Amino acid sequence: MRRDLRRENEEAVTAAVATVLLFAIVLSIISGMMAMIVPTMAELQGAVDRETMEGQFTDLAQETVRLSESGLPGDRSEMVIQPHTGDISWNLRRGGTWYTATLVEDQTLRLNSMNDLDGVIEHRYPNGDLTSMCLTDLRAHIDAEHRHISPPVNGTMLVTPVASLQTSLERVTVDDGLDKHSIQAGTVLTIDSTNESPAVAISSTPMRAIVIQGEGGMTTFAPDTPEPTGMGRSWTIPATMGDVTILLYSTETFTAEIRTESNTQSLDSTSHSVTEPSGNQGRITILETTVTVTEPTAIKVTTSSSAHMIVKQGISNSGATALLDQTGSVSGTTFLFPSSDYQLLIHNPDLLSTSVEINGFYHSIGARDSARITMTNNQGGWIVAGSPVQVHLVSDGTESSRSTSLDYLHSTSTGRTSASTWSNIVGGSPHGSELMIQRLGHDVNIQHLDNIAPNLASTTSINESAPRMSVQWISTEGGRIEISSERPFEQGESPVRAYISHGNSGLLDLRSMGEDRCVEIDERISGWTQNTLPWADVSFLSDGGVIDAWTTGEHPIGLLATMRGPHADNPHAAVAQGWSIPLPRMDYTFSSSVTGLEIGWRGGFVGTNHPEYVATTIEVPPSREGPGPRIAVTVPVVIPDMDLDTGTSDHKTTLTLLSRSQLASISAHEVRRGWDGPYGASIASQDAIDLDSSTDWLTYPGRLDLLNDYVGWVQPTPTSTESIYHAGGGLVSFNLQMALINHDAMVIDG
């Protein structure tokens, strides 16, 4: 029988097409299943990544908190970190944290852009006036250099490490520009200074420094950790060979322990009754003692309550020093002065005459004039002026002159050691006087004008190659000095530091170069106010360049901002303080069905944006609260070795506590904290998690004034990156510390 080949071919083709279609359908089904399964598998992989690293990062955070809060310098902790599929790296540019505390009732201080590495910072103080913001570099880095540069005088700079149980006991390296020296706590290094070549000390830890010129003199000596009022409880004095007289005074009785390498003595203060500025009966307490040292050494003084200190060194019977008012400023209306056989020299820079009450006796001081007043029976007490004045304790001289002294020229516009404008009344000396101005941060043009014979007006540029200028005069009577400091090309004002020397002897408590740089504020603004940071902008530098700028002090690593303004008739009272601390962040980056996921760890905090790019807090930053309205915070600052890249490798991490420093121990009306970056709102929300149980908050959301059944952190609004510590309207006992922790990593082979 004849076959139908055509029909058979058609059937074969049909079968082949059906097979192909069936195969295509199977592939489509498989592809569809894979399209659903692969993202699910990727999500599961991301969840495993998060779960694996979340636990390890939480352990790291808890270990840093344990070390920072309860460890001693040298304590360490080791962990093995095993990345899953992602990569570990460090980031220096994601900001950090900040805290603020207001010292005046019904006031609020907020900070912004403090850790951006650029040259601009922002603050908001909506309910009051400010005159200045004084900034101090916290030097929150293990390699940070602490620089002291003396004024250009013929003398000697004495430096010694600041030692405590919270700092390392290792030897300290000090570079004087010619040689490097290795010294330990209690040791004093002497460095020569001349008119042409000031003394320089660059150290690896915080130091205290004194400049002694000629036969010495006296100086108001700041505490190691000053309170906002300028008082304190601990001092480290670098002393030269000979007699050192220490004068402590306060309004509270105290016991002082004075310790040298060879001797320790405990002394009690004496007191007498005085009438306080309020009219109530009070007291002034005094302790004066002389310590004889046979070689340069450090004298450690601690007191049981807060006090002021004046130090006298050398063989000179001459000397003078500016006194602090009750708010910690040199320009003010209310001063406590100690019992002594010295005299008071009071300068009135105002355009109008003013009255001054001293222990019940009134004196009149003419406009832009000075008055020398002898203490009644050498008895201390209170000075109350009708307008801001400056008060100096002087041991000799007549009228507005003194024989010899060395001091800062404290600006009337800030009441501090630095400013951008001065309008001061100064005394003279029969041995000649010299004004010296030192550069801080920026190149500036200095305009100087005075009416001291012969009258002088000048404009001088100081810059990196010529960082200082000086003006000399020989008038015994002194006069008025006007100074302004502005950056070139109309970039605005920038602070400088001014010193004044009378004769060829004196004593000066020398501040570090990163301390007390005061930016003047002359406008009241309820919104955010921008200020130019008196340090260099380093935001455009590489990570290595940023670290170098931090190390040398070209840019601050951490800031203390003391806001000063009018309060209780004093023009420059400390009304609020703020602290900002940049925190390097360890990031673990990974992927799921999407890329760009991360887990971050810094400052005791752990957070992630997994799974949907939503910032989520896993571990909140540390704080210890109670009993009562009390909060204590230790901020762990972990410093990594940026040259070490562990990537995806397993590695052993070693955390070592290097030091712990006290930043604040005060009573505040309001305490806030904020966090830079996308996790700020999440942290603030998690801080206030217990607020959900408050009936008052549920009834009156956002009303802190009606919140009576809760004490703790409050997030003011759901999107706020800040938290307020609510204490029911009472004072909050606020303690803030900073711990420096070294992070070292070693890749595990195999």
Higher local confidence (pLDDT), 149 or 491: 149
Average predicted confidence (pLDDT) for the chain? 89
Which pLDDT tens digit goes with each residue over 582-601?
999 999 988 887 788 899 99
Confidence of residue 40 (pLDDT cuts 50, 70, 90): low
Residue 37 has pLDDT above 70, yes or no: no
Instruction: Report, as an integer, the average pLDDT of 709-736.
Output: 90
Report the pLDDT value the prediction gives residue 401, as an integer from 0 to 100.
Answer: 82
Reply yes or no on whether the pLDDT at 569 is more than 80. Answer: yes
Give the model's pLDDT for residue 436.
95
The angle subtended at Cα 686 by Cα 681 and Cα 689, nearest 5°, is 130
Res. 278 pLDDT band, cuts 50 70 90? confident
Backbone φ and ψ for 378, nearest 5 degrees, come out as 55, 30
Is residue 101 within 8 Å of 668, Cβ to Cβ? yes
Cis peptide before 640 (omega within 30 of 0): no
Q: Which whole number is the average pLDDT over 49-64?
A: 89
Q: Is the pLDDT of residue 3 over 60?
A: no
pLDDT in tens, 437-476: 999 989 999 998 888 866 777 889 999 999 999 988 888 8
The answer on pLDDT for 426 being more than 80 is: yes
Task: Flag whether pLDDT at 607 surpasses 80.
Answer: yes
Measured distance CA(714)–CA(439) in Å, rounded: 43
Q: Report how far residue 572's alpha carbon sits from residue 331's, in angstroms, rounded to the nearest whole number.
A: 7
> Across residues 188-214, what is the average pLDDT?
94
- Decide if pLDDT at 45 tops 80: no
Structure-model confidence comparison of residues 151 and 317, the more confident one: 151
Residue 489 tokens, joined? 């090309």
Helix, strand, coil percentages in the chain from 3-state DSSP, rounded to 5: 15, 45, 40
- The pLDDT, as a whole number, for residue 627 is 83
Read off the pLDDT of residues 665-698 as tens digits, 9 standing for 90 and up: 999 999 999 998 889 999 999 988 888 888 988 8
pLDDT tens-digit series, residues 289-348: 999 999 999 999 999 999 999 999 988 888 899 999 999 999 999 999 998 888 999 999
Q: pLDDT-derived band of residue 750, with 50, 70 and 90 as boundaries?
A: low
Can you tell me the mean pLDDT for 189-213?
Answer: 94
Region of 482 (left: φ > 0; alpha: ψ -120 to 50; beta: rest) is beta
- pLDDT (0 to 100) of residue 522: 79
- For position 730, what pLDDT does the model report? 82
- What is the SS3 assignment for 68-124? HHHCCCCCEEEEEECCCCCEEEEECCCCEEEEEEECCCCCCCEEECCCCCCCEEEEE
Task: Give pLDDT, residue 68.
Answer: 93
Cα torsion for 428, 431, 432, 436, to the nearest 10°? -90
Under a CB-based contact definition with an 8 Å cutoff, are residues 416 and 329 in contact? yes
Domain boundary assignment for the chain: 48-95+583-667+731-750, 146-518
- Beta-carbon contacts of residue 612 (< 8 Å; ≥ 6 apart): none
Q: Choose between 628 and 483: higher pLDDT.
A: 483
Confidence tier at 134 by pLDDT (50, 70, 90): very high
Q: Which of 24-28, 408-412, 744-748 has the lowest mean pLDDT?
A: 24-28
Give per-residue pLDDT as tens, 500-545. 999 999 999 999 999 999 999 977 778 899 999 999 999 999 999 9
pLDDT grade for 42, boundaries at 50, 70 and 90 = low
Cβ contacts of 192 within 8 Å, gap of 6 or more = 156, 157, 199
pLDDT tens-digit profile of 614-665? 899 999 999 998 888 899 999 999 988 877 777 788 889 999 999 899 999 9
Q: Tell me the residue ranges of DSSP E strands in 349-478.
A: 354-358, 361-365, 369-374, 381-394, 405-408, 418-419, 421-426, 433-439, 444-450, 456-462, 468-473
Q: What average pLDDT does range 540-562 have in this prediction? A: 94
pLDDT digits (tens, 9 = 90+) for 86-99: 888 898 887 899 99
Percent of the chain's residues with pLDDT above 90: 60
Distance of alpha carbon 525 from its chain centroid, rounded? Answer: 24
The DSSP symbol for 543 reads H
Q: How far is residue 22 CA from its own chain's centroid?
A: 75
**Is the pLDDT reported for residue 7 higher than 70?**
no
pLDDT of residue 1: 47
